[in-house]
Amino acid sequence: MRIALIGAAFSAGGADPGCRHGPQAFYEQEFRGLKRRLPGRFRWAGMIRERSHLPLLHPAGVAGLADSSHRLAAAVARQRQGAVLPVVIGGDHSCAIGTWAGIAAGSRRPLGLLWIDAHLDSHTPETSASHRLHGMPLAVLLGEGDPELLAVGRHTPLIDPRYCAVIGVRSFERGEPERLRRLGVRFHTRHEIRRRGLGRVLNEAWRHVAAAPGGFGVSLDLDVLDPLLAPGVSVPERRGLNPRKLARLLRQQPAKHRLRGLELAELNPRRDPQGQTRRLLPMLLASLLQSR
């Protein structure tokens, strides 16, 4: 398998500008070790940088995010045309709009997506209290939200709601659960995981999205992890997932030949002075690419 990593230095849509430095930190300090650790042909395919260095809320930040997303989508689509698996390293999670627009551009059949995150990221401008754009990408991928962001993809929705699941949720706001229920998206909260067990919930969610006719992808926000073990994120939430347990369970999942793309987002080096969160990325990426 040929794999191309693309940095998405996004932060304008997020809560902390430090996350724009996450992809560069990964490239400089983890990429070479990752190539030694994993079989296959890895290469670094460059960095897409947002032009704004300041956080911008909706609607002020929409034009900039749309521009960045178009450029990221084009970079991802070029890799897919060459039968390469794109792996995007973000940046704030608004980068997902460009990532999955690029992957969907090369697919004629419905795509599935497993969204692993402490948050639902399913706001539209009408439901968001903060108007931060990194709280809106999943809604956009599912076909709802700002028209300029919906126009990033060649079609909408980019992700088929029938084959979408969110896992690890422990913080959300009014409007988000209602939207996902209406669309038919499955989401699994931390409470459910504690009651049923992470392994069982993850197995169900993985198989659900992997059934998509056009293949599927995984978007993993590092804030799904317990901040005591992974503090380097912009919006930490208490009582998250154990990274080693999550990696072990991800490694056990089937049908990885049907993966069309991967995304790991929200590494914030400013909040990770010892590098402990950054060092988890190779382990998590390896678990998504390898089978038991």
Which residues are tagged catalytic?
93, 117, 119, 121, 134, 221, 223, 266
Which of 264, 280, 232 lies closest to 117 in space, CA to CA? 264
CA distance 159 to 161: 6
In whole angstroms, what is the distance from residue 232 CA to residue 250 CA?
A: 21
Give the long-range contacts of residues 138-145, CB within 8 A, separation 24 or more: 138/96, 138/164, 138/166, 139/179, 140/97, 141/96, 141/97, 141/100, 141/113, 142/183, 142/185, 144/179, 144/183
What is the spatial distance between Cα 95 and Cα 117, in angstroms, rounded to a whole number?
A: 14
Helix 243-251 to helix 280-289 angle (10° resolution) is: 20
Contact, 232 vs 276, CB < 8 A? yes
Q: Are 100 and 129 in contact (CB under 8 A)?
A: no
Residue whose tokens read 């988000």: 176
Q: Per this entry, what is the length of the chain?
A: 292
Cα three-residue angle 115-120-121, rounded to 5 degrees: 90
